[in-house]
Amino acid sequence: MKKQCLGILGIVGLTAISTISFAKESTTVFAAASLTNAMQDIEKLYEQTYKTDVKTSFAGSSTLAKQIEAGAPVDIFMSADLQWMDYLQKQGQVSPKNRVNLLGNSLVWIAPKQQKAKLEVKKGAVPDLVKKSRICTGNTNSVPVGKYAKAALTSLDWWTAVQPKLVETEDVRGALAFVERGECQLGIVYATDAAISDKVKVVGTFPVGSYPAVVYPVAKLDQSTETQRMYQFIQGKKAEAIFKKYGFIPLHPTAKRK
């Protein structure tokens, strides 16, 4: 009996050692849909560098923030606007000392690649193409790109004319997809989203100051060593190069670089 117990203990011990040896630390990142391509590249580079696992989830910032509020296990949150990060901070989910404004972006008008018309975007004068088109953007009440778009259209005195034409989506990639398929003749998305698609082209931009600055804050929600390392990596030089490749504008040059 004694030998049998020792044998069982030995097997348990070996199993425990094996589990410890092969256990992988991982970090879960929730990021705005517009960050998908850049963060997938950063995720791959991070995993190659540190031999660890990163789990990413991409959606509208509003959707992700509500999931975090509901208790989703997340280590890092990257929002496409300040409002949803502030929302989580008010809920006690984010500490002011554990967040930074990381990136900037801009809004553009897009159309299917074959579209020949260009938009002259100026206050008060709504082009005929805009009046006749279905226009895709994010939900104007909750999705950051939609809120920025509403602010821009309102400042131009275009909102009354454009609102009935809007097709509002759950995130910016949904709006991009509608325009790619020709289901919307025009779309309002981020410049970075327009740049990744070979099925659409930019047909107009908004005047400077017509909408609030597009700011992407990032926050760590967990204090573990692994989360801290990923949080710093996202702010580092290698990640910055990837963000720049996709057209994002770095806003936080004083972060610790790796």
Query: Per-residue pLDDT tens for 99-122?
Result: 999 999 999 999 999 988 899 999
- What's the mean pLDDT when you consider all of the chain? 90
User: pTM for this structure?
Assistant: 0.87
Residue 34 known to bind ligand = yes
Tell me the per-residue pLDDT of 43-56, one tens digit each, with 9 for 90 and over.
999 999 999 999 99
Q: Which residues of 46-74 are buried (b: 16+ CB within 10 A; e: fewer)?
A: beeeeeeebebebbbbbbbbbbbeeeeeb
Tell me the per-residue pLDDT of 139-152, one tens digit each, with 9 for 90 and over.
999 999 999 999 99
Question: What does the pLDDT read at residue 13?
Answer: 42
Question: What does the pLDDT read at residue 245?
Answer: 97
Residue 133 known to bind ligand = no
Domains of the chain: 25-104+215-250 (3.40.190.10), 107-205 (3.40.190.10)
Residue 172 known to bind ligand = yes
Question: What does the pLDDT read at residue 3?
Answer: 42
pLDDT at 8 over 80: no
Residue type, 254: T
Mean pLDDT over residues 200-213, rounded?
Answer: 96
Rounded to 5°, the CA angle 37-81-242 comes to: 30
pLDDT at 77 over 60: yes
Residue 61 known to bind ligand = yes
Burial class, 181, CB count within 10 angstroms (exposed 0-12 / middle 13-18 / buried 19+): exposed
Element (H, E) at 42: helix 36-50
